[in-house]
Amino acid sequence: MNAEPARLAAGMPYDVARVRADFPVLATRVRGKRLAFLDTAASAQRPLQVIEAVAAYERTSHANVHRGVYQLSQRATDAFEGARERVRRFLNAASEREVIFTRGTTEAINLVAQSWARSTLGPGDEILITWMEHHANIVPWQMVCQQTGATLKVAPIDRRGELRLDAFRALLSPRTRLVAFTAVSNSLGTVLPAAEIVAAARAVGALVLVDAAQAVPHERVDLRALDCDFLAFSGHKLYGPTGIGVLWGREAVLREMPPWQGGGDMILTVSFERTTYNALPYKFEAGTPNISGAIGLAAAIDYLEGLGIERVHAHEQALLQRATAALGRIPGLTIVGQAARKAGVISFTLEGVHPHDLGTILDAEGVAVRAGHHCAMPVMDFFEVAATARASFGCYSDEADLEQLVAALGHAREVFG
Ligand code: PLP
């Protein structure tokens, strides 16, 4: 299996062929063709190390956590809590009390909306987001604004797909109670200026939530440097399992928040007259958690850090540059989102071909790209397109994927000529 950690330690170059060997699905054929998997932004593939960590847990250690006095339950609890500590270290968080396991980014943001925002906000208060948000960072705020009478404000973007920082700053005021923004746009690839956004939000006394779903797989996120109050991400975009994610929250803020869901594990005592709640983070983890998912997530973090996040980032950036140049040479192709700083995501349209038809033609050539609105309909409206096709890269993406994409696009042009 993977020799990359040793190569990393020895200062040797990134070897994408070795990395690809860790991902069994990449060897499968699609419609008789080599698979060029270019939809990592939607969900990354899993390496053997993650698959086997989950299987080993299922084979040897599964039981419910936190409740059993018997050894197997203790083992499961140790593995589950060990995963929490692994996430804490990954994010450089102060305490594992701040690490709450959720189903994913969506649930993490809804938790903040329904616990913190719903209990804190009222008429006259404002939540500020950006035009580039995934629906997961729009709709929960719309819902809580309806519930509380607070107002949702949206900071605009420009034609390159960058946040208009001046306009963002102009929308901030002492009424702004929360700024919620994506660190990296899933539809455009834009890397947002997180430090500037956080500093500006802090200056008016607002709390800050960072949607890091598209950030943590590609660049190191250090909570102590970022200085936000909440951060959310999903395991499945980080080479881990689906159905597991994380809400990190600053302990002082989490302590004041009421629980969101009620049930087992989140309580200390229950009687029909009165219930007392458990300590952090369990207060926010009602019911049996996704134990194997958390273990898989920890294995995925081990895997990514074994590759070296900085090396993966450099690899993806090199691929992004080559892809941008190659796609830019295709007549009739328009890249949607041309920010100065981008992650490995290219959204594009091809003249005369609906993105869904394009997706189907590319699929016939073994190329998996996403076609649609990418759960970011306001971005599509802004660029006046119904949808785009989107190619996105991960640690295993290579030159051959890119060549296959370019050839398939050439074929699509012939078909729709
Ligand atoms: N935020 C961003 C930026 C995303 O890209 C996604 C998923 O595409 C989400 C939130 C939602 O993540 P999940 O569906 O894993 O909850």
Question: Does residue 119 sit within a domain?
Answer: yes
Residues 183 and 140 in one domain: yes
Both 98 and 190 in a single domain? yes
Residues annotated catalytic, as ranges: 375
- Whether residues 239 and 111 share a domain: the answer is yes
Ligand 1: distance of its center to the CA of 374 in Å? Answer: 9
265 and 372 within one domain: no
Report the CATH number that the domain containing residue 378 is assigned in CATH: 3.90.1150.10
Rounded Cα gap, residues 64 and 21, in angstroms: 34
Which ligand 1 atom minimizes the distance to the CA of 105?
Answer: 16
Are 47 and 70 spatial neighbours (Cβ–Cβ below 8 Å)?
no
What are the average pLDDT values for consecutive 10-residue runs of the chain, which has 417 residues? Answer: 67 92 97 97 98 98 91 96 98 98 98 98 98 98 98 98 98 98 98 98 98 97 97 98 98 98 96 97 98 98 97 97 97 97 97 93 96 94 96 98 97 85
- If we measure between CA atoms, which residue out of 164, 186, 165, 168 comes closest to residue 176? 168
pLDDT at 376: 95
* Residue pair 298/305 in contact by the 8 Å Cβ criterion: no
Considering the domain boundaries, does residue 406 fall inside one? yes
Going 183 to 187 to 190 to 196, the CA torsion angle's sign is: negative
Q: Which of 305, 333, 368 is the last residue of a domain?
A: 305
Shared-domain flag, residues 353 and 251? no
- The three-point CA angle 128-132-137 to 5° equals 60
In this structure, what are the phi and psi dihedrals at residue 228, rounded to the nearest 5 degrees? -90, -175
Contacts of 231 (CB under 8 A, 6+ apart): 91, 209, 210, 212, 221, 223, 246, 247, 248
For the Cβ of 106 lying below 6 angstroms from any atom of ligand 1, the answer is: yes
31 DSSP 8-state letter: T
Q: What is the CATH number of the domain that holds 131?
A: 3.40.640.10
Q: Looking at the domain assignment, is residue 10 inside a domain?
A: no
> Is 128 inside any structural domain?
yes
Last residue of one domain, picked from the residues 280, 305, 330: 305
* Residue 4 included in any domain: no
| DSSP letter string, 80-102 | HHHHHHHHHHHHT-S-GGGEEEE
Does ligand 1 have an atom closer than 6 angstroms to the CB of 134? yes
Q: Specify whether 172 is located in the same domain as 288.
A: yes
**Is any ligand 1 atom within 6 A of the Cβ of residue 171?**
no
Cα first-last separation, the chain: 45
6 located within any domain: no
Are residue 196 and residue 298 in the same domain, yes or no? Answer: yes
Q: How many CB atoms lie within 10 A of CB 345?
A: 28
| Cα Rg, the chain, nearest whole Å | 22
Judge if 83 and 209 occupy the same domain: yes
Reference 249, options 83, 77, 87, 121; nearest CA is 87
Distance in Å, CA 236 to ligand 1 centroid? 10
Contact (Cβ atoms closer than 8 angstroms) between residue 191 and residue 184? yes
Answer whether 182 contacts ligand 1 (Cβ < 6 A): yes
- Domain-embedded: residue 3: no
Q: Which residues contact 11 (CB under 8 A, 6 or more apart)?
A: none
Evaluate whether residue 217 is within a structural domain: yes
Both tokens of 317, joined, read 């950036």
Structural domain boundaries, residue 154: 52-305
Nearest to 156 by CA among 383, 373, 309: 383
How many whole angstroms from 213 Cα to the centroid of ligand 1?
Answer: 6
- Distance CA(60)–CA(42), nearest Å, equals 31
Write the residue with the smallest CA distance to atom 7 of ligand 1: 42
Atom index in ligand 1 nearest the CA of residue 242 equals 15
* C-alpha 180 – ligand 1 centre gap (Å): 14
CB 40 near ligand 1, within 6 Å: no
**Could you give the number of structural domains in the chain?**
2
Assess contact for 244 and 290: CB atoms under 8 A: yes
Q: Do 71 and 179 lie in a common domain?
A: yes
Please check whether residues 155 and 272 belong to one and the same domain: yes
Same domain flag for 325 and 266? no
d(CA 335, ligand 1 centre) in Å: 22
What is the residue-wise DSSP string for 363-378?
HHTTEE-EEE-TT-HH
Pocket test for ligand 1, best of 129, 234, 377 (most atoms within 8 A of CB): 234
Same domain, 83 and 41: no
Q: Which residues pair with 29 in a beta bridge?
A: 34
Q: Give the per-residue pLDDT at 229.
A: 98
- Whether the upstream peptide bond of residue 281 has omega within 30° of 0, thus cis, is yes
